[in-house]
Amino acid sequence: MRIDWAQYNPASFYDELFGSPGVARPAAERLASYLASLGVRELTERQRDADRAIAEMLRVLKPGGTIAFATWPPESALGAMFDLIGKHLPPPPGVAPVGEWGKVDTVRTRLGDRVKGLRFYRLVVEYTALSPQHYRDQMSRTSAPYIKVCELLRGEPAKRKQLDDEIDAVFTDYFQDNVVRLDALHTRATKV
């Protein structure tokens, strides 16, 4: 999927955090800062909220209505990044790793018999960046998990450098022609 940013109008979407390729809206930076400021207990609740969010979407959706969302598969660039972050900041007990929602079988199980016509599509979101390091720098303002792990490693520069080098290596594999390609799993279904 390639987005024509000149024709793209996010005005009708409440969750658009990027105004153009790789340019975070001010709300994205504020949201990331807020999420990064949360303690472990609050973060645990937020991670559990993914299941609650789907349940709430299905609760308010009329029968025959469409539910759709995108997630990051574990084999994708962001899935690999979340795995690296998880080595330093593992999810709390009882909370599944972020990448679980990016697996077709997990989504199918979690949606269960509440939907029909379940379809999955692979898509690529492209973000303009000067380099993998530039993209990581953008994440330092917009990715709450990355902000949180950087705070955790503030007093351990060797571990922080190792993490950044590993993240850069991941994004190098997905970087070409000043674009970081982020594979996503798009889920779409009809409420029963």
Q: Where are the domains of the chain?
A: 26-191
Residue 91 pLDDT grade (very low, low, confident, very high; cuts 50, 70, 90):
confident
Pick the closest to residue 80 from 141, 140, 166, 147 (CA basis). Answer: 166
Residue 1 has pLDDT above 60, yes or no: no
Beta strands in the chain (DSSP E): 18-20, 23-24, 66-71, 115-128, 175-176, 179-191
**Is 90 exceeded by the pLDDT of residue 132?**
yes
Judge contact between 68 and 186, C-beta under 8 A. yes
- Write down the pLDDT at residue 143: 83
> Residue type at 2?
R
Does residue 22 contact residue 31 with C-beta atoms inside 8 Å? no
Q: How confident is the model at residue 12 (pLDDT cuts 50, 70, 90)?
A: very low
Q: What is the pLDDT of residues 72-84, one digit of tens each?
A: 899 999 999 988 9
User: At a CB cut-off of 8 Å and minimum separation 6, what does 106 contact?
Assistant: 96, 100
- Check residues 99 and 132 and name the one with the higher pLDDT: 132
Q: Which residue has the higher pLDDT, 179 or 11?
A: 179
Cβ burial of 32 (10 Å; 0-12, 13-18, 19+) is buried
Helix 144-152 with 132-142: angle, nearest 10 deg = 90
